[in-house]
Amino acid sequence: MPALLDRKGQMLLELIAAIALTATAIVPALRLVRDAMEQTREIEQQELLTTLCVSKMEEHLALASAAWTSTTATGNFSAEGYAALRYIVVRSDQAAQGGIADRLMSVTATVFADENGNTAFDAGEPSVVMASKAANLARYLE
């Protein structure tokens, strides 16, 4: 009978040791899962910023081709459900902006996550910048 009681005590110690080993293995694994989820959120946000930036770039390249006007446009994507995401698009045919007067329009689109809500693009905020140029083909025909 005393041998059976001693064995029950050993089983309890074995159970406690098994739980401790399992806990030490699970904690780092949970940390990895948490980090992977954070990276996935960042990748999804960057993908969304890129998609919205391409959209604004295409829109303003079409506007530059239709009406040869220099402008700076700003706004947000609240109509699409992303009020915290903002954009700045600069269209210019000035040499300082990379254009050629009446011949080449430079278009730069910036889409950013306005994390602090000040409606301005600040250093450190996630962003995507794209630049392209549109030629004034009617001008070249002259």
Q: At 121, list the tokens.
A: 């693009």
Return the percentage of the chain with pLDDT > 70, whole number.
90
| Distance from C-alpha of 119 to C-alpha of 106, rounded to nearest angstrom | 24
Return the percentage of the chain with pLDDT > 90, whole number.
63
Q: How do strand 104-113 and strand 71-77 relate by DSSP bridges?
A: unpaired
Mean pLDDT of the residues in the chain: 88
| Environment class of 47 (CB within 10 Å of its CB; exposed 0-12, middle 13-18, buried 19+) | exposed
- Of the candidate ranges 56-60, 111-115, 117-121, the one whose mean pLDDT is the lowest: 117-121
Pick from 109, 105, 99, 115: which is nearest to 129 by CA?
A: 109
Query: pLDDT digit string (tens) for 53-112?
Result: 999 999 999 999 888 899 999 999 999 999 999 999 999 999 998 999 989 999 999 999
